[in-house]
Amino acid sequence: MQCAAQSSCREQLNDIVQLLKTQAPCNFSPMKAAKQKSKGGRPPLDKAGDVERRLLDAALQLFLERGFEHTSCEDIARLAGAGKASLYARYANKDAIFEAVIRRDVETQPAPAPASVPMDLEGRLRLAGQGILAHALQPETVAMMRLVVGTSIRAPALAAEVNRIGWEGGLQRVRVAILDGPDQPADPSTLARNFVDLVFAPHQLRALLGEDPGNLVDTASDRVEWALGLLRAAGQLKTERPR
């Protein structure tokens, strides 16, 4: 009697097992299911750069739409489709994100198109100056600079650092242009600083104060020629060829 009952139980158990097998998906894997369920954690290496790009894109969009003060790290992470852990793993705070946005803008500026023929020092400076102004007068760049000015009262150190990043970017472009030829001035570093001061600062200030962008773009070449004229008169464009 007991054996018959045990045999019946075993048969019922086998029937249940067979039924479950027929109803379960043929490609079911507990390990695979566990991996699919887990969405958090550090992104794969091939996706890490994409996360950073999305975070900076989202930060730029929100800073321009809402301003620095009214944008939070949580807002940025949400718009980027990233977790707060991903954001804070890369940036300590909102100030760091703001600096990163400016740095990316400076580092990704397109290089001036190479000249079809070799240029002398004045020609190289002319090309570099026109490139700097073309970028500085773009609406997005002007809007970002207004944000920097707006943060200077609450966070002067942040504004100063962001301004330094942008200034150094332009200065480096001019240095490269100066050194990219055999005809070298007596003091390349001083020439680079003076050229950026004369070309960049006046037009940038006028753009920040709301002058018509079209007028500023139209007069950019005149601004560059004016700067070259002053530097020429001061003797800073005199060059020597290496012996």
d(CA 129, CA 119): 14
Looking at the predicted structure, is the pLDDT value of residue 115 above 60? no
Q: CA-to-CA distance for 36 and 43, rounded, in angstroms? A: 14
pLDDT at 90 over 70: yes
Q: What is the pLDDT of residues 45-80, one digit of tens each?
A: 445 579 999 999 999 999 999 999 999 999 999 999
Per DSSP, what are the bridge partners of residue 185?
A: 239
Q: Which residue has the tokens 């043929």?
A: 26
Asked whether 196 and 171 are in contact (CB, 8 A), the reply is yes
Name the β-bridge partners of 184.
240
Single-letter amino acid, residue 227 = A
Record the pTM.
Answer: 0.69
CA 112 – CA 119 distance, rounded (Å): 13
Q: Which tokens in the block code for residue 66?
A: 């809402």
- Walk me through the domains of the chain, giving residue ranges and CATH numbers: 46-101 (1.10.10.60), 121-237 (1.10.357)
pLDDT digits (tens, 9 = 90+) for 120-139: 999 999 999 999 999 889 99
pLDDT value at residue 26: 40
One-letter-per-residue 3-state SS of 169-210: HHHHHHHHHHHCCCCEECCHHHHHHHHHHHHHHHHHHHHHCC
The answer on pLDDT for 18 being more than 50 is yes
